[in-house]
Structure 1
Amino acid sequence: MIKLKSNMFRPLYKYRANDKYLIDLITKSELYFSSPIDFNDPFDSNLEILNAVGKEEIIEHYRKTVKPSDDFFSNILEKSLNDKSVFEIINSTLKKEFYKWVNEAAICSLSKTSHDLLMWGHYTNCHKGVCLGFDPSLLETSLGTIYDVKYTKPVPKINIYDNPTDAVIEFFCAKSNHWKYEKEVRIIQGKVGPYKFPKEALVKIVFGVKCDDKEKVKIMELVYNSGYQNVDFFQSFTDKKYFRLLGQKIRLIDNKIDNYKK
């Protein structure tokens, strides 16, 4: 199981464009869980499932769960399993049920970093949006276990029989090395839709380099008016020496941005 191993005191981040979905996130205190079917990586949550179970595994599992006096039935089971069609039916049924659950599942993706240039470009309307920081311990308490995404070059093959729970997590949390820069973590739920988080969980908002000052004021006022009390605001800006982003803490005074460093 690849549960989040990072420091649980460091925020986890959600990159967002400045749109109605950002407004809903703030005003309703909701994070949206999406179907992996809609993700932008064709390999994402689309891995090969191995034949779930073989003859020996079925017999061994049966013998572990029945009384010793039931050897008669074990022998009957062993003989019936010589029919190849029995395996096909069992494996087909297991895979069908697994994929049914997969198709109904939903994921919320976050990142361990708030200053990745590519993610700012991809997910915030070219640096015009924001990056929201959340307290991971409060998210985990309210939304469920947070799992690290495992980046790999070979495509994993999933065995759902040995440990179904671990198989589900690996299925949803394995991605190509090409995406490693995202430093992604995921929360898994059983249904697509918005899920409430406690207001205390939102602890930080970073504005993009190209975010307009009027939009910053609007978002900061929206945060205050929505009842958040422990959110720090930061402005991203480009480093003069290296291709990287830096941040400066800012505040709102008389409807104006204060301590904005360029």
Structure 2
Amino acid sequence: MKLFKYTTWRPFDAEGNSQKCNTRENLLRSLLYFNSAEKFNDPFDLCPFFDIDCSDDELKRTTTETIMQEEGLTLLKARRKALQLIRQQGLHTISGRKSAVEKITAKMMNVGVCCFTTNHPTTILMWSHYGDHHMGLCLEFDIPNEIPSNENLECSFLPPVPVTYSNHLPKFKLVRHTLDDLLCCLRTKSMEWKYENEYRAMHRNYIGTIAYSPSLLQSVTAGCKMQDKEFDELSKTIRNMKIHPNLFRAQKKEREFGLTLIKC
């Protein structure tokens, strides 16, 4: 599966002096950064709809149905278990439901998310929005359905899944929420973001860098507004990598709105 990641490339400060560049370090060490949704530019990320105003009967019914489906219990046994769970978690009161929502939301913000796109590095908007206004990089990955093991890998992550675009927030269960519920929230965004054609990988309890197999990175493309000095530093960085991906430089077309890629 070919996926792309747009990012910044700032190896020098405003005066032209070398400075710490996280992207450079991540390239050299084959690392991807998994961020919290709390840091994303969309305030609706991982913010599902919780129906805390539902009636007691509705809460009991949906919880009973969930338990029957997941555990195969009879209606009577599932209803008893549902009532017990609702009492234990204080969900028979509005204040208890609000408290449950706060705990679930806090848990969601501990999910590390790494974003990709299927949009090729000739896509102008992706450069403008995520590639540092055409001064950054686009990384091309060839990611299999199963992430290869890495002997230096301290954390593992789920393979990228496509984002679903909708006009409605996903609905999250107050009781007995599952990994599928979390995945639904992870990959649901507003229809206004559809142009991104986004995929997301996640780690359930980790924010930070995670190693990947160096062979997954197929190419690196420099934005069309990257300065020569910065491009030279990028070339040097790639020469120092364990496996050398192809290097391209985006260039504006002369007679139309578009980009072409020059192999370097």
Asked if residue 102 in structure 1 is aligned to residue 108 in structure 2, the reply is yes
Counterpart for residue 212 of structure 2: 197
Aligned length: 237
The answer on whether the counterparts of 2:36 and 2:113 sit within 8 Å (CA) in structure 1 is: yes
d(CA) in 2 for partners of 1:98, 1:37: 14
Is 2:113 the partner of 1:112?
no
Deviation of 1:204 after TM superposition, in Å, equals 0.4
Deviation of residue 61 (structure 1)? 5.7
Q: Which residue number in structure 1 is paired with residue 259 of structure 2?
A: 245
Give the unaligned 5+ runs of structure 1.
Answer: 1-7, 251-262
| Alpha-carbon separation, structure 2, partners of 1:138 and 1:77 | 37
Residue pair 1:138, 1:198 contacting (<8 A) in 2 also: no
Q: Name the structure 2 match of 1:206.
A: 221
Normalised to the residue count of structure 2, the TM-score between the two structures is 0.75
Equivalent in the alignment of 1:167: 181
For 1:131, the equivalent position in structure 2 comes to 138
Residues 1-262 of structure 1: pairs in structure 2 closer than 5 A: 8=1, 10=2, 12-19=3-10, 20-51=21-52, 54-60=59-65, 65=71, 87-88=92-93, 95-113=101-119, 114-137=121-144, 140-141=147-148, 143-159=157-173, 164-189=178-203, 190-229=205-244, 231-250=245-264
Deviations 1:173-221 (CA, angstroms, capped at 9, x unpaired) = 1112222221111111121111111111111011111112232222122
Distance 1:80 1:117, change over 3 A: closer
- Structure 1 residues 97 and 247: alpha-carbon distance in aligned structure 2, compared to 1, 3 A threshold: same
Structure 2: distance between partners of 1:108 and 1:123: 13
Structure ranking higher in helix proportion: 1
Shift in Å at residue 247 of structure 1? 1.2
Deviation at 1:48, TM superposition (A): 1.4
Larger radius of gyration: 1
Deviation of residue 106 (structure 1)? Answer: 1.3
Inter-CA distance 199–238: structure 2 relative to 1 (3 Å threshold): same
| Structure 1 counterpart of 2:4, one-letter code | Y
Query: Could you tell me which amino acid in structure 1 is paired with residue 92 of structure 2?
Result: F
- Equivalent position SS for 1:188: strand
Given that 1:108 and 1:186 are in contact with CA atoms closer than 8 Å, whether structure 2 keeps it comes out as yes
SS in 1 for 2:218: strand
* 1:141 match: secondary structure: coil
Residues of 2 paired with 1:179 and 1:236: CA distance?
A: 24
Contact 2:64–2:78 (Cα < 8 Å) also in 1: no
Residues 138-147 or 28-37, more deviating: 138-147
**Gap regions ≥5 residues in structure 2:** 11-20, 150-156
Distance 1:29 1:59 in 2: 46
Would the alpha carbon gap of residues 249 and 139 (structure 1) be closer, same or farther in structure 2, given more than 3 Å must change? farther
Report deviation, 1:104: 1.2
8 Å CA contact retained: 1:112, 1:185: yes
Q: Write the letter of the residue equivalent to 1:177.
A: M
Quote the offset at 1:75 in angstroms. 6.9
Please state whether the residue corresponding to 1:158 is helix, strand or coil: coil
Residue 198 of structure 1 aligns with an amino acid whose one-letter code is: S
